[in-house]
């Protein structure tokens, strides 16, 4: 039973039909006394969204286009649901900042999730950030918005959530004051960790999205195969924990049991372990600072034969090297990195380029771009637009 002094939380799930959104709703369904769905959003998966509406009865849903809204309206009318329907980017921001919402799960993939995530941050919400690209693109602007509004920012990526759990409370955003020597991000290495490097140009999209440990969407699965996801996580860790690039290490850990670690000056290394299931960090974020049941099976250490670790090979994973370079470059470099990666990954999934062309296109876009200060959202979005145009130009050439 819910204690009388624990407030029912009203949740907005941005990207409810994606893998993170579905896992979030699974956790929420286990705790109807704690959580109520205020809003669900999806770009175009209207049939899946309609099913979610039937189960969770949100007050409002948001889709990407007018045609998707019309299709959803017909589906909800069949189910005799009177859920309000809106569409478009501004509607996403509206539900994220709404006074009827307490918690925002920011799980829209890619740059498309930035405006709504920023709206939630500025509105002082409890922001569960599963969209790493938003923080990669906006950096200090996002952190400033959180601090100025009094919002709570909780990382949902399994690695950053693990780091958060291994940091002292309260954390001052000054690693040296807490005796922190480095942050260690673990990475599975993806499906091509042991594949001959010379054969990677023959990788197919189906092979690239077949992650050995995690069930994820296509884009993030390709990012895992190139290790760009880990590169973006390095940049995200820098902003989340105010840690310089040289104090963030990536360690290959194929079993995905240790989700990340924090190393301290006294020789201690604190690690968070668990089965590879996103419901664990989602439940942690929803209930923080409490702990609730997530539906994840307990980790049975007796069944783990061994835990392996190795350094990340930049020759095998050049996207990781590009991300470190972008973080050290600063200014608009991370925005350009993210935009060109999104375009290149989609081109690979569409069969327009080979797998090893992804990092080459990113490198060419970054080499041809002028790095500039990005002081507001308009500048970020303009930089994103220009980088995408250049990436598409290179692909078409």
pLDDT in tens, 250-262: 999 999 999 999 9
What mean pLDDT do residues 288-300 have?
96
Whole-number Cα distances in Å, 191 to 110, 144, 235: 22, 37, 23
- Beta-sheet strand order (sheet of 258-264): 269-273, 258-264, 180-187, 248-252, 310-311
Torsional sign, CA 81, 82, 87, 91: negative
pLDDT at residue number 1 = 40
- Comparing C-alpha atoms, which of 141, 372, 237 is closest to residue 119? 141
Is residue 132's pLDDT more than 90?
A: no
For tokens 């759990």, the residue is 165
Strand pairing category for 310-311 and 248-252: antiparallel
Which segments of the chain belong to CATH 3.40.50.720?
A: 9-155
How many residues are present in the chain? 397
Q: What is the second-level CATH architecture of the domain 9-155?
A: 3-Layer(aba) Sandwich (3.40)
Phi-psi region of 330 (alpha: psi -120 to 50; beta: other; left: phi over 0): left
The answer to whether 367 and 341 have CB atoms below 8 angstroms apart is no
d(CA 16, CA 12): 9
Work out the pLDDT band at 217, boundaries 50, 70, 90.
Answer: confident
Q: In the predicted model, is pLDDT for residue 2 greater than 50?
A: no
Rounded Cα gap, residues 183 and 206, in angstroms:
33
Q: What's residue 3's pLDDT?
A: 52
Beta strand ranges found along the chain (DSSP E): 9-14, 35-41, 60-63, 84-87, 103-106, 126-129, 152-155, 180-187, 248-252, 258-264, 269-273, 310-311
Q: Alpha-carbon dihedral of residues 387, 382, 131, 162, nearest 10 degrees? A: 80
* CATH 1.10.1740.10 in the chain, residue ranges: 330-397
Q: Residue holding tokens 């992804």?
A: 358
pLDDT confidence of 397, banded at 50, 70, 90? confident
Report pLDDT for 134.
Answer: 86
Q: Which of left, alpha, beta for 309 (phi over 0: left; psi -120 to 50: alpha)?
A: beta
**209-243: string of b/e by CB count within 10 Å (b at 16+)?**
bebebbebebbbbbbbbbbbbbbbbbbbbbbbbeb
- Say if residues 24 and 107 touch (Cβ distance below 8 Å): yes
pTM to 2 decimal places: 0.92
Q: How confident is the model at residue 216 (pLDDT cuts 50, 70, 90)?
A: confident
Dihedral of alpha carbons 251, 257, 263, 267, sign = negative
CATH for 330-397 is 1.10.1740.10
Contact 289, 171 (CB under 8 A): no
Tokens of 169: 């409370």
């Amino acid at each position: 039973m819910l204690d009388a002094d624990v407030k029912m939380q009203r949740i907005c799930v941005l990207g409810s039909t994606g893998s993170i959104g579905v896992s979030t709703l699974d956790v929420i369904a286990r705790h109807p006394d704690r959580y109520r769905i205020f809003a669900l959003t999806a770009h175009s998966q209207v049939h899946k969204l309609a099913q979610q509406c039937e189960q969770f009865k949100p007050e409002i849903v948001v889709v990407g286009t007018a045609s998707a809204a019309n299709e959803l309206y017909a589906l909800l009318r069949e189910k005799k649901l009177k859920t309000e329907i809106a569409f478009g980017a501004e509607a996403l921001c509206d539900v994220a900042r709404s006074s009827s919402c307490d918690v925002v799960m920011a799980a829209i993939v890619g740059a498309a999730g930035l405006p709504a995530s920023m709206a939630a941050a500025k509105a002082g919400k409890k922001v569960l950030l599963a969209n790493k690209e938003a923080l990669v693109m906006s950096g200090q602007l996002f952190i400033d918005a959180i601090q100025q509004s009094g919002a709570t920012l909780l990382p949902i990526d399994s690695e950053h959530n693990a780091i958060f759990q291994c940091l002292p409370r309260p954390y001052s955003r000054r690693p040296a004051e807490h005796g922190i020597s480095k942050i260690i991000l673990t990475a599975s290495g993806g499906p091509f960790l042991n594949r001959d490097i010379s054969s990677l140009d023959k990788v197919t999209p189906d092979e690239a999205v077949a992650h050995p440990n995690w069930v994820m969407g296509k884009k993030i699965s390709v990012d895992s195969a190139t290790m760009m996801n880990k590169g973006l996580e390095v940049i995200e860790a820098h902003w989340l924990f105010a840690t310089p690039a040289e104090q963030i290490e990536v360690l290959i850990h194929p079993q995905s049991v240790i989700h990340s670690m924090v190393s301290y000056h006294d020789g201690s290394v604190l690690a968070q372990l668990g089965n590879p299931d996103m419901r664990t960090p989602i439940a942690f974020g929803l209930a923080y600072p409490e702990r609730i049941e997530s539906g994840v099976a307990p980790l049975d250490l007796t069944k783990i034969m061994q835990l392996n670790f190795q350094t990340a090979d930049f020759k095998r994973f050049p996207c990781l090297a590009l991300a470190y370079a972008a973080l050290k470059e600063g200014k608009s470099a991370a925005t350009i990195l993210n935009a060109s990666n999104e375009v290149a990954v989609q081109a690979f999934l569409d069969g327009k380029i080979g797998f090893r062309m992804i990092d080459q296109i990113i490198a060419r876009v970054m080499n041809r771009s002028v790095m500039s200060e990005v002081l507001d959202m308009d500048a970020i979005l303009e930089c994103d637009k220009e980088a995408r145009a250049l990436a598409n130009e290179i692909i078409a050439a």
